[in-house]
Structure 1
Amino acid sequence: MRFNALKRDIHGISQKVLSQVLKNLERDGLILRTAYPTVPVTVEYSLKPLGTTLIEAVSSLTHWAETHMSEIQAAQHLYDASKA
Structure 2
Amino acid sequence: MAGPDVVTDPRNARSLRYRLPLLLALAVLAVAAGAKTFLEIAEYAADLPVWFVAELGVCSWSGTPSGVDLRAGAGQGRS
For normalisation by structure 1, the TM-score amounts to 0.26
**Structure with the larger strand share:** 1
For normalisation by structure 2, the TM-score amounts to 0.27
Q: Please say which structure displays the higher CA radius of gyration.
A: 1
Whose RCO is larger (CA < 8 A, sep 6+)? 2
**Structure with the larger helix share:** 1
